[in-house]
Amino acid sequence: MNITEALNVALPEIPARTLAQRYPRVDPDCTFKEHLEDGKPMIRVYVPSAEVMYKFPPQNWELIQLFDGQRSYAEIAALISQQTNIEYSEEEIQEFAAMLEESDFWYKTPQEKNILLLQQNKAQRQKKLRARSRWADISLIIFPAFNPDKFLTWLYGYTSFIYTGWFTALTLMAFAFTVGLTVTHWPEIGRDTVQFYTFTQKTWADIAVLYGLGIFVVAAHEFAHAHACKHYGGRVPAMGFSLIYLTPAFYTDTTEGMVKGSRYQRLIISLAGIWVELMICSIATPIWWGTAPYTLAHEGAYFLMLLTGLTSLLINWNPLMKLDGYHMMCEMLGIPDLKESSTAYVSAWVKHHLWGLPVEVPYVPKRRRLGYTVYALLSGAYSYSVLYLVASFVGNVFRNFDPQWSFIPELGTAALIFRSRIRLLVNFMKFVYLDKRDRVHAWFTRSRTLALVAGMLVFLLLPLGHQSTSGRFTLEPANRAVVRATQAGIIQYVDAPEGAAVNEGTLLFKIRNLPLASQVAHSQAEYAMASNRLTKARLSYGDVGSALQERNRSFIQARSLQAEANNLEVASPLSGVVLTPDLESRLGSYAKAGEQLAEIGDLRQMRARLYVSEYDLYKLHVGAPVRVQVDGLWSKWNAHASAIAALSTEIDPGLVEENKYAGLNPPAFYVVDVLLENDRGQLKPGMTGEARVYGRRRSLGQLGWEALANFFGRKMW
């Protein structure tokens, strides 16, 4: 016992004790207003000293207003009984006041707060301090807040024009211009947005820039909420900064605006944050568009675009998480705490009806039950997806610097994020076990237990699952031919547009070779002269043998040159489709002997060149079934592995992102050929996709053992 507690025992009537026992009173500076929530009147009360908003039914608020710190409980009971014609006892009033005391509603001066603190014993204070420690959990680190109300009052005096009609019209025009630039440059903006938020291929400098700009954007977002609250007459007593899983987050107390404002004004306060982000985006987009690439202004504006553009709009206005879009939807529907109410209803319904637990299901009107169920399921799925993406985000950050061991911080982050959910799941399973324990124990007789164990062993040993692996692939015709110029010359005829269907023997090119044409004409003239000399020798009984030999030589030479001249007309060696683009541009150009002119492919059967990592090659064999999914097509193809390359090769750069991983030796890849029938003509050369190859059947026990052995073998050897 310390000296303060000793004095309290020895002198119980000192002023501190008397001061602490005053009657409760309402904060004289509180703000209140009646609102309609879920079709019922509700009084919203904002207490500045506690920085909390309370909600009371009108009859309760009528009673609360009688507490002025001077009236006794008996006097208040008499007054409220007289006003409502309902008899209230002093004990009921005292119990009601005690209930509000537990929620820290009643006003206390700083001196009274200190006295209450002194009345707590040391163990309680330490426990409370530990519970409120700002640094106890990395998931939420809160820094001291400040009161920005005076600054906002000064700032509003110079910036109130933001809410005028002409400025709103100007802002909408800027938004339209930004949307136009985004649409016209969407291929690069869309691609970079995905890379930006998955955080692949980033350096520590990129992380620092993102962190700094993120703090700026979040601060502007919260200041916008505070500015709108000030516009509608509300005070902003607190603004602070925190780290949620080390991610910067500002918070602003605009509760008084939510109490004093109408539904329209509350919507504007909620809208202000994303509105100012769009304003920042509309300023950054023209800067990015008009500045030279790789300059500081260009790159900084592009970062701001990606932070505040379409993705930020979708995130903040998504009503499935408790962000601006959720609060706006609750205001429009008139249903406060929609997420909590729907989740509590669905959770209790599942526990009661599916698990048979003794849980009371909250009452929800029939017209809302379906909506509550759909919203709770969608909201839960979306929230868990976002948490999963946060863990993946951390993995992507570390994968840029140490890809081999980046799974450790990724799994650690996932465990930190999902630990409360895991704890809830464990508690739920304990609850289920305690509720069903007696029946479960009664059911698990010795014979049933042995049968269940035997069944599980059989299930683990049965070859029910396939070894499988997946990989990226490119498509090419299974049968294709390259058309080359057998003779050099100038191309004077082209009849091979890209994509044209040709038959075997179809003329594609004509090549003009003047020296060869001259030689052909000369050889034909020599052959004619030799034929004439042979005829003359026969008529004059001359040297027929010599003339015959000369004619035969001339004939062979002329025939050989004519065969070469015939090769100047290039025909298709097979039936198929012309794959080479822009062949018409070759008209009039010079082609060397052996130069490739075109490529013809038979598209009736396609070959997928599937790249499989060396780590998974042991799972495959020729003839293994393959399931093929081509990017951009809904259909899937069933096929078989027709061949597996004997030597490794480098993967096609177009199938993977550029490798910037420091210290990582990429695996070798082996090409697996998969033949696909293209009866409907949907498959085109150059298409990419992903295919899964199924190996031999294995039991679940074998698959688990192989995965464990391979993991430790690769990481620990």
3-state secondary structure of 225: helix
CA distance 352 to 360: 7
Q: Does the pLDDT value for residue 5 go beyond 50?
A: no
Quick one: tokens of 661?
């991983």
CA distances from 589 to 347, 491, 492, 495 (A): 75, 6, 8, 15
> What's the number of domains the chain is made of?
5
- Residue 401 CB neighbour total at 10 angstroms: 14
Residues 12 and 112 occupy one common structural domain: yes
CA distance 350 to 373: 11
Residue 201 carries which DSSP code? S
Query: 76 lies in a domain?
Result: yes
3/71: higher pLDDT? 71
3-state secondary structure of 105: coil
- Least Cα distance to 254 among 221, 229, 219, 218 occurs for 229
CA distance 389 to 399: 15
CA distance 548 to 529: 12
580/407: higher pLDDT? 580
Contact 579, 600 (CB under 8 A): yes
- Least Cα distance to 568 among 514, 633, 502, 497 occurs for 514
CA distance 319 to 582: 50
Q: Which residue has the tokens 């074998």?
A: 702
Q: Does the pLDDT value for residue 121 go beyond 60?
A: no
Quick one: tokens of 26?
């309402």
Helix (H) or strand (E) holding 111: helix 110-119
Count of residues in the chain: 717
Among the three residues 443, 458, 492, which one is the final residue of a domain in this structure? 443
CB-side exposure of 507: number of CA atoms within 13 Å? Answer: 11
Confidence of residue 127 (pLDDT cuts 50, 70, 90): very low
Residues 388 and 276 occupy one common structural domain: no
Q: Does the pLDDT value for residue 220 go beyond 70?
A: yes
Backbone angles phi and psi of 475, in degrees to 5: -100, 145
- Residue 246 CB neighbour total at 10 angstroms: 11
Confidence of residue 169 (pLDDT cuts 50, 70, 90): very high
pLDDT digits (tens, 9 = 90+) for 663-706: 445 678 888 999 988 888 888 888 888 888 887 777 777 777 77
Among the three residues 131, 151, 170, which one is the final residue of a domain in this structure? 131
- Least Cα distance to 63 among 20, 92, 33, 22 occurs for 92
Question: What's the pLDDT score for residue 172?
Answer: 92
- Least Cα distance to 660 among 281, 88, 200 occurs for 200
Contact 608, 652 (CB under 8 A): no
Contact 487, 516 (CB under 8 A): yes
- Residue 485 CB neighbour total at 10 angstroms: 21
Displacement of CA 296 from its chain's centroid (Å): 28
Residues 179 and 211 occupy one common structural domain: yes
CA distances from 112 to 2, 6, 94, 105, 708 (A): 20, 19, 19, 14, 63
CA distance 29 to 38: 28
pTM, rounded to two decimals: 0.56
- Least Cα distance to 510 among 552, 563, 461, 571 occurs for 571
415/230: higher pLDDT? 230
Question: What's the pLDDT score for residue 331?
Answer: 79
Among the three residues 334, 349, 369, which one is the final residue of a domain in this structure? 334
3-state secondary structure of 166: helix
Q: Does the pLDDT value for residue 329 go beyond 80?
A: yes
Query: 381 lies in a domain?
Result: yes
Displacement of CA 52 from its chain's centroid (Å): 34
Q: Which of 76-85, 180-189, 648-657 has the highest mean pLDDT?
A: 76-85
What is the residue-wise DSSP string for 313-381? HHHHT-TTSTTHHHHHHHHHHT-TTHHHHHHHHHHHHIIIIIS--S-PPPP--HHHHHHHHHHHHHHHH
Question: What's the pLDDT score for residue 654?
Answer: 66
Lowest mean pLDDT among 93-102, 265-274, 394-403: 394-403
Query: 424 lies in a domain?
Result: yes
Residues 76 and 92 occupy one common structural domain: yes
Q: Does the pLDDT value for residue 532 go beyond 60?
A: yes
Residues 118 and 251 occupy one common structural domain: no
CA distance 283 to 309: 11
Residues 584 and 645 occupy one common structural domain: no
Query: 542 lies in a domain?
Result: yes
128/165: higher pLDDT? 165
Q: Does the pLDDT value for residue 137 go beyond 70?
A: no
- The enclosing domain of 700 has a CATH number of 2.40.30.170
Residues 540 and 407 occupy one common structural domain: no
Contact 464, 704 (CB under 8 A): no
Contact 654, 714 (CB under 8 A): no
Question: What's the pLDDT score for residue 374?
Answer: 92
Pairing state of beta strands 669-677 and 636-644? antiparallel
Query: 597 lies in a domain?
Result: no
Residues 288 and 345 occupy one common structural domain: no
Query: 688 lies in a domain?
Result: yes
pLDDT digits (tens, 9 = 90+) for 370-416: 989 999 999 888 888 877 777 776 666 666 565 566 667 777 777 77
Query: 365 lies in a domain?
Result: yes
Helix (H) or strand (E) holding 244: strand 239-244
Q: Does the pLDDT value for residue 146 go beyond 70?
A: yes
Structural domain of 582: 480-591
137/288: higher pLDDT? 288
Q: What is the mean pLDDT of residues 302-324?
A: 79
Query: 449 lies in a domain?
Result: no
Share of the chain above pLDDT 70, in %: 83
280/490: higher pLDDT? 280
Q: How high does pLDDT run on average in the chain?
A: 78
Residues 106 and 48 occupy one common structural domain: yes
Confidence of residue 9 (pLDDT cuts 50, 70, 90): very low
Q: What is the mean pLDDT of residues 87-111?
A: 81
Share of the chain above pLDDT 90, in %: 3
pLDDT digits (tens, 9 = 90+) for 596-640: 888 888 888 889 899 988 877 878 888 888 999 888 777 888 888
Residues 267 and 366 occupy one common structural domain: no
Q: What is the mean pLDDT of residues 243-264?
A: 77
pLDDT digits (tens, 9 = 90+) for 535-566: 777 777 777 777 778 777 877 877 777 777 77
What is the residue-wise DSSP string for 52-71? EEEEE-HHHHHHHTT-BSSS
Contact 302, 288 (CB under 8 A): yes
What is the residue-wise DSSP string for 577-633? EE-SS-GGGGTT-EE-TT-EEEEEEEEEEEEEEEEEEGGGGGG--TT-EEEEEETT-
Question: What's the pLDDT score for residue 396?
Answer: 65
Residues 148 and 193 occupy one common structural domain: yes
Q: Does the pLDDT value for residue 424 go beyond 60?
A: yes
Residue 500 carries which DSSP code? -
Residues 150 and 68 occupy one common structural domain: no
pLDDT digits (tens, 9 = 90+) for 19-49: 345 788 888 888 888 888 777 888 888 887 7
